[in-house]
Amino acid sequence: MPETVPDILPEFTTVSVTDAGALTLLTQYFSDRETSFPSVQGAYRTTFPSPEQFLPPLGVFLLVSASRSSASHSRASHSSASHRSAAESGESTDGRSDADGSTFVGCGGIRRIEDSSSGVRFEVKHLFLQAQTRGRRWGRLLLAELERRAAEFGADEVVLDTNASLEAAGALYQRAGYENVEPFNDNPNATNWYRKRLN
């Protein structure tokens, strides 16, 4: 049975991690994690991403908004999510809305890390969507877009880490074809590590 296509599709905008919109969403993301982090695991450790790690071809960082034309277009043609850059759209990414009135509601990025025995490896980082997007399947679409970008940069596999307390995230990764692997970093906030082959 084919996967249901959301009535409203996300739009992905490429920005620097130092962009005002990116910083706003990253701050929300870290604040949410600090609030919900299991106390038995200690304190959540916040580390903002390094800008140079998220610049093509070593990586990319995306902001997520609702595509203004997607509701009717997706019902008519089941088109895929759209993507653009801040420079191409001429928008202001102030963390609230862009020039055409779209509101940024999420973010995510990929960065190249040390290659593995399987080849070129990219890591998914800071996958975050605000609560009002729940039920739209945007998490899967954002993850798929990041995987697509990684493949364009030559990735053989993508990896990510998460915390067991984020049950919905873990379920998303497993549905998307990720498998459990041994830790590939020393992230103190993580309890689970995943990998997905792209070829």
For 150-191, what is each residue's pLDDT tens digit? 999 999 999 999 999 999 999 999 999 999 999 999 999 999
What is the model's pTM? 0.83
Beta bridge partners of 84: 13
User: What's the mean per-residue pLDDT of the chain?
Assistant: 86
Give the Å distances, CA to CA, from 162 to 53, 86, 100.
Answer: 20, 29, 34
pLDDT digits (tens, 9 = 90+) for 112-151: 999 999 999 999 999 999 999 988 999 999 999 999 999 9
Residues 23, 151 contacting (CB under 8 angstroms): no
- Judge contact between 68 and 100, C-beta under 8 A: yes
- What's the CA gap between 71 and 81, in Å, rounded? 11
CA distance 94 to 26: 13
In order of their start, the domains of the chain are 10-197 (3.40.630.30)
